[in-house]
């Protein structure tokens, strides 16, 4: 149960979803491991990939109806199975109260019925509900970041919509003013909407401008207000909300973890000893919490927590639990510093002979030294090392290609200027920029994934409604007919192909749809695609394109706000703490130092032998002793490393506020009798533990923190 | 001298430019009044306006060469005269060290020579130096905000250039990769530069895309890196620098004012009384510092400073000097509150009957009540009141127009939906947005003016090089020939005019140039203009267009950063201090309250009679007594109001940091012997005053604070 609480703290599971009987526990354990997560992910991906093969399919991937319908049914059965496991774990009551799971269930049912209908009729009907498929992917454990992004987007919506209304209000006013020029009100609104995206500027102005030069004032005033003022306001409001939401999210995660630690500590101390957590207890906990961890690492983690040197861990020590569990341990060796010493002169050599062989081989040696020094895992966990490594490898490949002078290596040869990227390491600002980039890459990737999920839904809707509506020489009734023209013009002897190409921007299959949607995202000339499709379907098609514009605007604004926030945060941070970022030792991430003496290790070894005699895991601890013997020292210093996350930065940035939050949190926790004891870990424990063991008393109701 | 120091503090003049002899003082006084400032402004404007009449002129404003050359010479002589006055005030040494003035002098000389050449040859030669004319406008006193903007732009440049290099670096890499597709390296670079602005997307991709669908990956990756990542980074870096510069500027202005107050206080107390500043001294000071201020207002200002009620002002009291000198004083009357009471119900009536007559007349009454209550000056100094007033007036005009049903009123009738703007007052977010807008309007205007100054310089260069190069059916050798086509197509009986219109986007006169530059700023399809001009001139023309893009990008990024900063600042502020913004009394700005008793007024009146018997300025004080007699109260409460500036907000935001700055400032001031006495205003003054009277000892050198 202690382990469960800690896992829940790490996974940000609500405590009221705590499994309450052995069956539920079995289901919880079954549903919380990487195999199950992987299955969830693959099922979600399979369902999304199906749209490559369903009509309208990508030509080379087309499958028969019964094949893809069967595949879909299979995947849906998998999803149903996963949902059943969740139902077992949560129990019926909690299950139907969990909104996301309920939505997923409904979507599953609809998809099931539709898949069966397809299988029976042996033909695909119009299935717009396929746009809901991403929910299966979003719901899986590994997509937690995407879920957070979606939540953040929805939280930013109210202020966004407020400003959007302001924007639309001015648009309507200008549409009324410009009605006589644009003929109809609809035309006026659409033109001004497109003008807001600047896609039809200055063309939309030119006819009026050619008649009266002062007509440009209308357009200039409109753009100044809408594009340069209100659109920026939109960014400002989203940025502001984003900042606030980010901070609140950090706060709630932090407090959730702290409360998990509090509960786990209560359970650990109440059982055997009232004074604190002993190495034995801690080791037992870690063996279940992190089964892959070696005995040595468990021992070192305990040492890292135990800063006071007392025989047991106090609650204060235990609070650092989540900070130390992810560390990778390595004995400190003195020659490790060599690469760092040789590091700075190299920078200057490289400046002088960027592409010559000498510095390249020096770089190669540096990379090899570092890899052998740090070990491959530690080496590649640092963004800067990865950067060095790939630049060097590319440069070597380029050199080899140059030596053999072969054509297929063309792309690698031209990648050689990438060596110049090394120069960016020298300047502090570039270091900051690239550091920020490395740190935020996971988050950026999740934002990109979020965007792709929106793309997917829009692509499905687009394919259902607009597949095969545009083709060469279509849209002759629209104003953009030229862009869709394809003529073999025979002038004398020469045949000139006049191509408008825009017929290529279609929704004929999911890949084309994605490209078309990217073009719509970039916004330039998007109205040509819109008008082409509209002229071949109905006026209502514009709604699709405009909705897409607004949705991507929201997501893009969030992305801009995110980059802005991350970067400004980072700059402020590095302004506040000049040193840590300069320190090359620290720049790879968080480093904990633990010194272990021979006696400590022997004691731990004795303990482990008692606990589980004959276990093979002891060899790692014996290795420590052997190393000591070899080096002749009576103690060894171990360094625990992990890469720095945004959470670490936030911890430093909000240092003062965090203390306030903790104070607030313990004040709130005070009135509840079963938590009031937490602040005095040395006092004897009550018989009633706040989180009853599920195996013992399954009758106890769920315990809610919030 | 005291007055001068205070003026210098307000004007942010450096203290070492302090006039050092009677002649210099006369020149300083001559050069520091509104008449002189106005003359400076008009001269600057006249010089700028000349380009409307010089070849290539706006057709209807064309002037003969000798007319506009003579006008120019006249304006230049005026500028020379202004410079002479400055030379007299500053002295030769300070003058040649002041960079801006020296640049101005050089430009003046060049312009002078050129104007004379034009007058002699009776024809305009190529005068690119006219692009430097805005310096005469920028240097004038009223354009201080523009100067500050320019300085801020230049301060943001180093980090901006760093990121720009990163941008160009990736552009070059992609240009090498795409060379085989774009044929030449120049073509490749130009295409990718245009692609960065998205102006040629997706057209630039389509030929490749039609041959191989996977070629879109190149363009998508390029845009993702350059447009969506590095361009946002650019915004982030500028935003960050901007924030920092803004804070530092506020700090230095604040400390400059404080140091001016310190010095002025030293001079005031050292002369007659060592204890503090008496009403008599203060009144004498104010009579010179603000000659238009009435005796009553001087008295009330003194009372507002004198919060402790002591007979004299201490240095601590005196520190608030700049906060109270701008106040507009008004006795508090009880019925003033009526409009506020009737205010909130009106909001809800207006929601129900937005365009009917009843609420409109109620609004009219409200507006009239408020104007008579607050007085027109106080009323119109609030953005919200102005907003109410204009909405109501427009609505009335609309109603009248509707009643008479006349065509010319068309524009006013359609302005009636503006009444809906009232709804924006109800929602807190809109109030915040509009409040921010009102507060920042002056700053926005100055940023706009800065942009226009850049436009002017680019317009002059454009006119010199590209005037009359594009015309209908030109550019047949370029890829954009279609956009410049003008054909009378006779199909059967009907004559169809096929127009490309782009020949209208030219540099034929300054107004056309401005419109063309605005189109370039909006960026969409800007490459058509660039390619058209390039095909008729040389490849080097592209440099002009690309430089313009980068310059506007800088200015636009600053504008975005400014709006973002102002808004986020405001939101944070209103989150920190919820109440002040909600308080309707306070929302109009800063309010000081002063209670005066009959005895106080009588004493002040007596004092004034002694100082300047028979002065007409006493009537204002006697008015106070009469009001007291009428109302029968023995004391009256006066309210001093002014609108809230960003400086007031900053004061609250940086409250804690300001204390640190002051502490730092006095620590730095400590080692200088002539300032060490400031922290003890009650100690007897030394004989040597830090700022010698210019009339007495003109030999003393300039005193530098920094």
Q: Which of B375-379, B628-632, B683-687 has the highest mean pLDDT?
A: B628-632
φ and ψ of B331, to 5 deg: -70, 145
The mean pLDDT value for B686-691 works out to 35
Q: Which of A248-252, A454-458, B92-96 has the highest mean pLDDT?
A: A454-458
Give contacts of A233 with chain B, Cβ < 8 Å.
Answer: 433, 563, 567
Residues B529-574: tens digit of each pLDDT: 999 999 999 999 999 999 999 999 888 888 888 888 778 877 777 7
Q: What is the pLDDT of residue A595?
A: 81
Paired strand residues for A277: A313
Band (pLDDT 50/70/90 cuts) for residue A402 is low
Contact of A212 with chain B, judged by CB distance below 8 Å, is answered with no
Contact of A58 with chain B, judged by CB distance below 8 Å, is answered with no
- Lowest-confidence range among A300-309, A397-406, B174-183, B379-388? A397-406
The full DSSP string for A306-333 is -TT--SSB-HHHHTTHHHHTTPEEEE--
Q: What do you get for the CA distance between the two ends of chain B, in Å?
A: 20
Residues B76-114: tens digit of each pLDDT: 999 999 899 888 888 888 888 888 889 999 999 999 999
Give contacts of A512 with chain B, Cβ < 8 Å.
Answer: 213
Closest approach of chain B CAs to the CA of A561, in angstroms?
9
Residues A464-515: tens digit of each pLDDT: 999 989 988 888 888 888 888 888 777 667 666 777 888 899 999 999 999 9
Q: What is the pLDDT of residue A437?
A: 76
The C-alpha atoms of residue A566 and residue B236 are separated, in whole angstroms, by 9
Q: Is the pLDDT of residue A528 over 70?
A: yes
Q: Is the pLDDT of residue B373 over 50?
A: yes
CA-wise closest residue to A208 among A199, A218, A198: A218
- The two structure tokens encoding residue B74: 């006249």
Residues B485-501: tens digit of each pLDDT: 888 777 667 666 777 88
Q: Is the pLDDT of residue A703 over 70?
A: no
The C-alpha atoms of residue B198 and residue B191 are separated, in whole angstroms, by 10
Residues A130-140: tens digit of each pLDDT: 999 999 999 88
Closest approach of chain A CAs to the CA of B567, in angstroms?
6
Residues A357-399: tens digit of each pLDDT: 566 677 778 778 877 777 777 777 676 777 778 777 877 776 7
% residues pLDDT > 90 (chain A): 19
Mutate to test the interface with B, among A59, A217, A225, A228 (most CBs of B within 10 A): A228
Q: What is the pLDDT of residue B613?
A: 63
- Lowest-confidence range among A13-22, A697-706, B45-54, B518-527? A697-706
Residues A31-85: tens digit of each pLDDT: 888 889 999 999 999 999 999 998 888 888 898 888 999 999 999 999 999 899 8
Band (pLDDT 50/70/90 cuts) for residue A579 is very low
Give contacts of A243 with chain B, Cβ < 8 Å.
Answer: 568
φ and ψ of A500, to 5 deg: -90, -20
The C-alpha atoms of residue B409 and residue B407 are separated, in whole angstroms, by 5
- Kindly determine whether residue A417 and residue B176, on different chains, have CB atoms separated by under 8 Å: yes
Contact of B200 with chain A, judged by CB distance below 8 Å, is answered with yes
On whether the CB atoms of residues A76 and A69 are closer than 8 A, the answer is no
Q: What is the pLDDT of residue A112?
A: 92
Mean pLDDT in chain B? Answer: 78
Band (pLDDT 50/70/90 cuts) for residue A619 is confident
Q: Is the pLDDT of residue A593 over 90?
A: no
The mean pLDDT value for B663-679 works out to 55
Interface of B with A in 65-84 (CB under 8 A): none
Q: What is the pLDDT of residue B689?
A: 35
Contact of B165 with chain A, judged by CB distance below 8 Å, is answered with no
% residues pLDDT > 90 (chain B): 19
Give the chain B residue whose CA is nearest to the CA of A448. Answer: B224
Sign of CA dihedral A188, A189, A192, A194: negative
Q: Which of A591-595, B135-139, B493-497 has the highest mean pLDDT?
A: B135-139
Residue B701 is given by DSSP the state P
Q: What is the pLDDT of residue B78?
A: 92
The C-alpha atoms of residue A571 and residue B242 are separated, in whole angstroms, by 13
Interface of B with A in 635-664 (CB under 8 A): none
Paired sense of beta strands B328-331 and B635-642, if any = antiparallel
Q: Which of A12-16, A157-161, B624-628 has the highest mean pLDDT?
A: A157-161
Q: Choose among A236, A420, A567: nearest Cβ to B236.
A: A567
Q: Which of A635-644, A680-689, B327-336, B471-480 has the highest mean pLDDT?
A: B471-480
> Who's near B230: CB < 8 A, 6+ residues apart?
B163, B166, B167, B170
Q: What is the pLDDT of residue A430?
A: 80
Angle between helices B231-271 and B655-669 (to 10 degrees): 50
Q: Helix or strand or coil: residue B642?
A: strand
Residues A303-346: tens digit of each pLDDT: 888 877 777 888 888 888 888 877 878 776 644 444 443 344 44
Band (pLDDT 50/70/90 cuts) for residue B193 is very high
The full DSSP string for B485-528 is -EEEEEETTEEEEEE--GGGS--SSHHHHHHHHHHHHH-TTHHH
Band (pLDDT 50/70/90 cuts) for residue A610 is confident
Q: Choose among A169, A207, A563: nearest Cβ to B236.
A: A563
Contact of B216 with chain A, judged by CB distance below 8 Å, is answered with yes
Closest approach of chain B CAs to the CA of A202, in angstroms?
6
φ and ψ of B154, to 5 deg: -65, -35
Mutate to test the interface with A, among B472, B524, B556, B560 (most CBs of A within 10 A): B524
Contact of A426 with chain B, judged by CB distance below 8 Å, is answered with no
Give the chain A residue whose CA is nearest to the CA of B523. Answer: A198
**pTM for the complete prediction?**
0.79
Residue B129 is given by DSSP the state G
- The two structure tokens encoding residue A161: 């919509």
- Residue whose token pair is 């599920």: A694
Give contacts of A571 with chain B, Cβ < 8 Å.
Answer: 240
Q: What is the pLDDT of residue B105?
A: 93
Band (pLDDT 50/70/90 cuts) for residue A405 is low
The mean pLDDT value for B157-167 works out to 88
The C-alpha atoms of residue B325 and residue B293 are separated, in whole angstroms, by 10
Mean pLDDT in chain A? Answer: 78
Contact of B527 with chain A, judged by CB distance below 8 Å, is answered with no
% residues pLDDT > 70 (chain B): 79
Q: What is the pLDDT of residue A672?
A: 44
Apex CA A555: angle with CA A552 and CA A559, to 5°? 130
């Amino acid at each position: 149960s202690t382990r469960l609480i800690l896992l829940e703290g790490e996974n940000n599971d609500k405590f009221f979803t705590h499994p309450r009987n052995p069956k539920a526990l079995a289901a919880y354990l079954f549903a919380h491991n990487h195999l199950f997560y992987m299955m969830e992910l693959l099922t979600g991906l399979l369902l999304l990939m199906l749209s490559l093969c369903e009509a309208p399919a990508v030509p080379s991937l087309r499958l028969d109806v019964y094949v893809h319908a069967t595949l879909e049914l299979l995947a849906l059965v998998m999803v149903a199975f996963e949902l059943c496991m969740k139902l077992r774990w949560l129990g019926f009551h909690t299950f139907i109260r969990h909104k996301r799971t309920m939505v997923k269930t409904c979507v599953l049912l609809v998809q099931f019925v539709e898949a069966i209908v397809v299988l029976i009729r042996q033909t695909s009907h119009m299935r717009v509900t396929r746009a809901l498929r991403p929910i299966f992917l979003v719901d899986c454990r590994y997509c937690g970041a995407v879920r957070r992004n979606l939540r953040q987007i929805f939280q930013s919506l109210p202020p966004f919509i407020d400003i959007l209304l302001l924007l639309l209000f001015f648009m309507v006013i200008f549409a009324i003013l410009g009605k006589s020029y644009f003929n109809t009100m609809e035309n006026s609104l659409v033109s001004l909407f497109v003008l807001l995206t600047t896609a039809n500027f200055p063309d939309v102005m030119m006819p009026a401008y050619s008649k009266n030069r002062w007509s440009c004032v209308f357009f200039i005033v409109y753009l100044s207000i809408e594009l340069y003022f209100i659109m920026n306001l939109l960014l400002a409001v989203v940025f502001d909300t984003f900042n606030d939401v980010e901070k609140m999210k950090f706060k709630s995660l932090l407090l959730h973890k702290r409360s998990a630690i509090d509960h786990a500590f209560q359970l650990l101390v109440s059982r055997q000893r009232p004074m604190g957590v002993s190495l034995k207890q801690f080791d037992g906990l870690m063996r279940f919490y992190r089964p892959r961890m070696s005995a040595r690492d468990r021992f070192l983690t305990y040492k890292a927590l135990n800063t006071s040197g007392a025989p047991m861990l106090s609650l204060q020590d235990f609070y650092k639990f989540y900070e130390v569990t992810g560390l990778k341990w390595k004995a400190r060796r003195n020659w490790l510093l060599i690469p760092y010493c040789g590091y700075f002169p190299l920078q200057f050599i490289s400046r002088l002979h960027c592409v010559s062989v000498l510095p390249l081989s020096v770089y190669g040696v540096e990379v090899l030294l570092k890899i052998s020094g740090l070990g491959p895992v530690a080496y590649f966990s640092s963004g800067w090392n990865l950067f060095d490594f790939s630049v060097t490898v590319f440069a070597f490949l380029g050199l080899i290609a140059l030596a053999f002078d072969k054509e297929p290596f063309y792309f690698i040869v031209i990648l050689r200027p990438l060596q110049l990227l090394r120069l960016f390491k020298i300047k502090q600002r570039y270091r900051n920029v690239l550091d920020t980039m490395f740190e935020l890459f996971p988050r950026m990737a999740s934002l990109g994934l979020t965007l792709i999920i929106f793309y997917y839904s829009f692509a499905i809707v687009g394919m259902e409604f607009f597949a095969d509506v545009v083709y060469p020489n279509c849209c002759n009734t629209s104003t953009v007919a030229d862009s869709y023209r394809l003529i073999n013009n025979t002038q004398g002897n020469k045949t000139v192909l006049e191509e408008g190409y825009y017929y290529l921007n279609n929704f004929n299959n999911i890949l084309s749809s994605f490209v078309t949607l990217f073009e719509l995202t970039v916004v330039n000339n998007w109205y040509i695609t819109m008008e082409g499709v509209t002229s071949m379907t109905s006026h209502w098609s514009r709604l699709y394109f405009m909705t897409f514009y607004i949705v991507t605007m929201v997501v893009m604004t969030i992305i801009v706000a995110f980059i802005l926030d991350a970067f400004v945060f980072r700059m402020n941070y590095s302004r506040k703490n000049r040193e840590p970022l300069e320190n090359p030792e620290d720049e790879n991430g968080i480093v904990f130092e633990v010194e272990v003496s021979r006696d400590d290790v022997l004691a731990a070894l004795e303990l482990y032998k008692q606990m589980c005699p004959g276990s093979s895991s002891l060899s790692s601890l014996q290795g420590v002793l052997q190393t000591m013997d070899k080096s002749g020292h009576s103690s060894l210093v171990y360094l625990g490393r992990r890469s720095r996350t945004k959470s670490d930065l936030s911890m430093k940035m909000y240092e003062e506020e965090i203390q306030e939050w903790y104070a607030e949190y313990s004040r709130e926790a005070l009135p509840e009798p079963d938590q009031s004891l937490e602040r005095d870990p040395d006092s004897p424990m009550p018989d009633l533990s706040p989180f009853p063991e599920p195996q013992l008393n399954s009758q106890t109701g769920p315990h809610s923190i919030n």
